[in-house]
Amino acid sequence: MNPKADSRLTEVSLVVSNLHPGLSFSESKVETFFHSLFPLYPKGPRGELSLVFMERAEHNQLHGEFLKDFRPTDVITFPSDPNENIAGEICISVDQAWEESISRKIPFVEELSLYLIHGWLHLVGFDDIEKVERIQMRFEEERSLRHIEKQGAWPDFVLAPADS
């Protein structure tokens, strides 16, 4: 790794908040995941990157409060603020990831990781409002997923079954 890329890794620090009672993972594996992702987007934001794993109800409330839309969604991204040394915040609906992983027949860890990638891509400057932007976003998501696979840098997300 070149020194310039290596110094980039220290310019983003992760703050992880797991607010979902059924989700477990190693924060060090989440850090490895992001440190594998950062070199793909060297001009990304610097500072503190907050990751928040949430239950659906709280995530929907946040979606409604800030975006005036109370419908379920998968990822909410709050932008960076270089003046405050904030790289941004990525809020994830763990329950949405679980349901989508079942629906799409893919591993839960991959779906949840996709949401982290999607949030990071928003912070890097990609958007998915217009069709052409969505196509570019999907391309970057796939590129990032392939890179994580090649690096063997998957987080170890596990979701415990809900109590009946």
DSSP, res 39:
G
Q: Tens digit of pLDDT for each residue in 79-125?
A: 999 899 999 999 999 999 999 999 999 999 999 999 999 999 999 99
- What does the alpha-carbon distance between residue 81 and residue 88 come to, in Å, rounded to a whole number? 7
pTM: 0.90
pLDDT at 57: 86
Strand ranges, E, within 3-160: 12-18, 23-24, 47-54, 75-78, 86-93, 158-159
5: exposed, middle or buried (C-beta count within 10 Å: 0-12, 13-18, 19+)? Answer: exposed
Instruction: Give all domains of the chain, ordered by start, each with its CATH number.
Output: 3-156 (3.40.390.30)
